[in-house]
Structure 1
Amino acid sequence: MQRFLLLAALLTGAASATDLRIYPSFTEVRDTVRAQSTTLNIPLPESVWNGLIPGTLDLDGLNFSQVTQTSGASWLAGLEGKTVTLEEPGRGAQVVTLVRARDLLVRDAQGQYRTARFEDLRFSGAPPVGAQLPAQTLTYTLTQPGSGTLSYLTRAVTWSARYTLRASAAGARLDALADIRNGTELPYDVKATELYAGEVNLSGNPVMYRESVQAAPASARAPSAPRIGAEGELGGLYRYALSSAFTLPASSTVTLPFIRPKLTGFERYAGLSTGFSTQSSEGVMSRNYRLKAGERLPAGPLTVREDGRVVGQTVISDTAAGAQVGLSLGADPDVRYRRTVQQLSASKNARGDVTKVTYRVTYTFESGRERAVRAEVREWIGGPRVTIDTLPARQEQATAELRADIPAGGKVSKSFTVVIDQAS
């Protein structure tokens, strides 16, 4: 997110200390401002203004009677009518007059006009970050001088978690990283940062939101990389905290080690989810994983590696500690199934209409794997009344579940019986 900067910081392009409360799709920026008089001017670069969420500006700790927002000229516009050096590839350097900053129109010594490129211009002093962008200025009329906190929401700074599941014959490990993205042209010396995971509603639009990460005051020396620790929950949101300050450069992504939750359960299996049909079929199973983590998992992409090799990628949603996470990574050509359906009986009413039918569904699984593999099938069956031999009672909707351990290079069959009663 973009923070409001004092003019001196804007002109020098220096990173500014600030507090960030970062969510997956927006950030709250909190900046301490000090007014020496009853007028407080806060310039905002265009890139900051464009990312700002309307209606979220707030000044806390300073009473004001009025605030005015005006659009000013860019730093480059201040050089209009003045001479600069233009150094174009193959043409050498020459002194030109900057006629119009908006499209970099210049006039050379022969009086000819043309459009230049910003990277070909040379200046006597270092231009600030965003030299071509106009600045918006907030002018607060205060009741008295003092210090306060300026805050706003922006979509220019966000964060997200991403995971790697490292599986092998010995077990599995889940690693996570946190990516903090700065889409602004301003750097931040982050004094205190909070990351939030969960759902926050902004103006009727749900926004995924992550937990809080805190950083200590910035040091003049390069600090060690901060660590992220869990801070519990806040109103149903996940919270985390950074162990130290860090610098978030302009237009950058800073990646930090995140959580490494203990897996309380991990299984591989070949899976199939389908609806009931009276027709026979065959095909391949999908490669599936099932795990439970000892910590809450913020939503994010997950890459699965087997023995160090990538075998698939998927996305997990926000998950509570101990909740089961299911991963499906696509077709498994080494595990095939053949499904056959046999009608065992049919009952009719006095008009000759079929009212109840009994079927036997048989799955034959065949594996080309060098190790035994678990196969699992979930088949949804609908009807006025459905009875499955593996379930105790009739239901309007029912799910038949089959599990079979297929030996290495072997074959195994499993069946279930279903009664579909159409009688009202």
Structure 2
Amino acid sequence: MTPRPRLLLTAALLALVPAAQAADLRLYPTLGEVTSQPLKVEGGAVTVPFPKADWAWVVPGSVRLLGVPVTRTRVTPGVNVLRAHEGEAVRVLRGGLNLKGTLADAEALLVQLDSGEYLTVRPDELAFSTRPPSSRDVADVKVTFETGGAGSANLLYQTRALSWKPRYELDASGDAATLRALAEIRNAGDQSFSGSTDLYAGDVRLVPENVPMPTPAVVGELTTTTSSAGNAAVAQDRAVTALGEVSGLQRYALSRPLTIGPRETQTLPFLAPKLSGFARYDRISTYFSPSNSSGRATRFYKFTADAALPAGPLTVRENGVLVGNVSLGSTAAGQLSDLSLGADPELRFSRSVTVLNTEKDGSGRILSRSYRVSYALTSTKSAATTAQVREQVYGQSVVVDGKVQTGNPVMVTRYVTVPAGGKANVTFTLKVRGG
């Protein structure tokens, strides 16, 4: 019988863990939480080794043993066994060259060549005159849990090697649009992970600690496995199910266990929400000023999805043509998404302001002024477009087209249809008291 997927920690740990039981993975936007298969605790203590490269990704203070009472936890750093060979003569085998030198710094893998220069090397490039250390000699970081008794327990820890984020694809054509989501799961470390997996989206904060993060090693190319949302067989194989809200986070579950290798990224079908109210429009945004101005509009797409959407990058295509890549903010089901796609040089405006009246008190102090604000819109687009004109006005009292407004500032919003290759105008009056 084929064993179920396992969490791969180290050979020493696997010897302690039943192979037939899977791990649990909880993935967040910036980290992952790993729960191991049950460990058998005997003799009042259990030691779990972490390879040094894997330990560098572990969130400090997050390693716990669940299921048995723990009286003390000790973390023993691994020792670089190459230190015993510092000062010894070595040879560097690189690119067909055989260079004589001395191991100057074991931690930095720094060799001083007989010619005097210093060279940073890889462990597999070193040849020793005495027996070199093997991979079995490399000491791990050891986490020892002293317990109040024997029993079955699970190892729990957080690692920044694992993370996930949603990616969105919006395809628009005519009056219709389709939104698809992909879950991008990333393993930046050198350790493989496998197990049942839940994805959590939202604001998960950790107290920052002054601990340097490792730089992912680049070995060959990053492996990316993509499951197409259009492939029904793959989508069914890697379905992601929404499980609702948990303490302000959105929870999703993979229908089958995930196995992800070192430095691997996997992209799986995620959500396919239904959209309503899809529309394209151009926006002109200004602040009120008595001075004339001009500029160009900004392209916007808006829609409402019937499912909650966690924040992530969104790629927009119009009839298959890429028109922009933007950030989609986290939205609740039924909440409007309003996306700015950048400047639209095909729709320009000229804004002019005319002073209509100035109101003063008996001492000549200005109490208020009235203005006519006019926008002349000019389009060189091949199709008609809806333009939204928004002007933000500050004042103690603001009257727009004879109607008193509340709040400070006041947002004056007007809509107009601009014909293809044509012009349109927007005009309103303001009475502003104070500033």
Q: TM-score range by the shorter chain?
A: 0.7 to 0.9
Q: Whole-Å Cα distance in 2 between the matches of residues 168 and 268 of structure 1?
A: 11
Alpha-carbon deviations, 1:251-281, whole Å to 9, x = none? Answer: 2211111111111121101112221011111
Map of 1:209 onto structure 2? none
Q: In 1, distance between residues paired with 2:367 and 2:120?
A: 82
Deviations 1:336-362 (A, max 9, x none): 111111111111110112212111111
- Structure 1 residues 75 and 391, CA gap change in structure 2 (3 angstroms): farther
Q: Provide Cα deviations, 1:289-345, integer angstroms capped at 9, x if missing partner.
A: 111111111001111111212111211221101111111111101111111111111
In structure 2, distance between residues paired with 1:310 and 1:163: 13
User: Contact 1:374–1:403 at 8 Å: present in 2 too?
Assistant: yes
376, 388, 392: which one pairs with 2:388?
376
* SS in structure 1 of the partner of residue 395 of structure 2: strand
Q: Which residue of 1 aligns with 2:219?
A: none
Structure 1 residues 235, 337: closer, same or farther in 2, change over 3 A?
Answer: same
Q: Alignment length, in residue pairs?
A: 394
Instruction: Evaluate the alpha carbon distance shift between residue 252 and residue 78 of structure 1 in structure 2; reply closer, same or farther with a 3 A threshold.
Output: farther
Aligned counterparts of 1:97 and 1:17: Cα–Cα separation in 2: 47
SS of the residue 2:12 aligns to: helix
Match of 1:197 among 198, 201, 214: 201
Instruction: For residue 200 of structure 1, give the secondary structure of its aligned residue in structure 2.
Output: coil
User: Does 148-157 or 237-246 show the bigger shift?
Assistant: 148-157
AA at the equivalent of 1:361: V
Which amino acid is 1:54 matched to?
A: P
1:242–1:315: structure 2 CA closer, same or farther, 3 Å change rule? same
Matches of 1:223 and 1:9, distance apart in 2 = 34
Gaps of at least 5 residues in structure 2 are 1-6, 210-233
1:320 is aligned to: 332
Residue 164 of structure 1, aligned match among 150, 165, 169: 169
Asked if 1:88 corresponds to 2:94, the answer is yes
- State how far apart, in whole Å, the 1-side matches of 2:317 and 2:119 are: 56
192-201 vs 372-381, which deviates more? 192-201
Residues 389 and 223 of structure 1, relative CA distance in 2, 3 Å threshold: closer
1:26 touches 1:157 (CA, 8 Å); kept in 2? yes
Residue identity opposite 1:185 in structure 2: D
* Contact 1:46-1:133 within 8 A present in 2 as well: no
1:23 maps to which of 12, 22, 28: 28
Q: Distance in 1 between matches of 2:346 and 2:144?
A: 68
**Secondary structure of 2:53's partner?**
helix
Q: 1:166 to 1:102 in 2, by over 3 A?
A: same
Match for residue 142 of structure 2?
Answer: 137
Quickly say closer, same or farther: Cα 1:390–1:21, change in 2 above 3 A. farther
Q: Show the counterpart of 1:252.
A: 264
Q: Is the 8 A contact 1:26 1:156 kept in 2?
A: yes
**Secondary structure at the counterpart of residue 180 of structure 1:** strand
Corresponding position of 2:231: none
Once the 2 structures are TM-superposed, how far is the Cα of residue 238 of structure 1 from its aligned partner? 0.7
CA RMSD of aligned residues (A): 3.7
Alpha carbons of structure 1 residues 223 and 364: separation in structure 2 relative to 1, 3 Å: closer
**Is 1:230 the counterpart of 2:242 in the alignment?**
yes
Residue pair 1:230, 1:239 contacting (<8 A) in 2 also: yes
Would the alpha carbon gap of residues 115 and 174 (structure 1) be closer, same or farther in structure 2, given more than 3 Å must change? closer
Q: CA offset at residue 144 of structure 1? A: 2.8
Deviation at 1:388, TM superposition (A): 1.0
Distance across 1 between alignment mates of 2:281 and 2:112: 71
Q: Identify the match of residue 242 of structure 1 among 244, 248, 254.
A: 254
CA distance 1:86–1:357, change in 2 (3 Å): closer
Greater displacement, 384-393 / 161-170? 384-393
Q: In structure 2, how many angstroms separate the alpha carbons of the residues matched to 1:390 and 1:31?
A: 69
Structure 1 stretch 134-143 or stretch 296-305: which is displaced more?
Answer: 134-143
Q: Choose which of 317, 328, 331 in structure 1 pairs with 2:343.
A: 331
Q: Give the structure 1 partner of residue 61 of structure 2.
A: 55
Q: How does 1:384-395 map to 2 (within 5 A)?
A: 384-389=396-401, 391-395=403-407
How far apart, CA to CA, are the structure 2 residues paired with 1:87 and 1:228? 49
State whether residues 390 and 400 of structure 1, in contact with CA within 8 Å, keep that contact through their aligned partners in structure 2: no
Q: Residue 84 and residue 8 in structure 1: after superposition, are their counterparts in 2 closer, same or farther (change >3 A)?
A: farther
Contact 1:390 1:416 (8 Å CA) reproduced: no
Relative to structure 1, the CA distance from residue 240 to residue 118 in structure 2 (aligned partners, 3 Å threshold; closer, same or farther) is same
2:190 is equivalent to residue 185 of structure 1: yes
1:8 counterpart SS class:
helix
Deviates more, 1:406-415 or 1:38-47: 38-47
**Structure 1-normalised TM-score?**
0.81
SS at match of 2:204: strand
Counterpart-to-counterpart distance in 2, 1:171 and 1:180 = 30
The aligned counterpart of 1:39 is 45
TM superposition shift of 1:421 = 1.8
Q: CA deviation at 1:369?
A: 1.1
CA contact (8 A) 1:77 1:132 kept: no
Structure 1 residues 325-334 or 40-49, which shifts more? 40-49
Q: Alpha-carbon deviations, 1:10-32, whole Å to 9, x = none?
A: 89xx9x95211111112222113
1:8–1:104 distance in 2 versus 1, CA, 3 Å:
same
Partner SS for 1:342 = strand
Does the 8 Å CA contact 1:51/1:156 hold for their aligned counterparts? yes
Q: How many Å apart are 1:51 and its aligned residue?
A: 2.3
**Alignment CA distance shift 1:348-1:392 (3 Å):** closer
Give the whole-Å Cα distance in 2 for the aligned partners of 1:133 and 1:353.
84
Query: Secondary structure at the residue paired with 1:239?
Result: strand
> Partner of 1:208 in structure 2?
none
Q: Percent identity?
A: 38
In the TM superposition, 1:244-323 aligns within 5 A as 244-323=256-335
SS of corresponding position for 1:141: strand
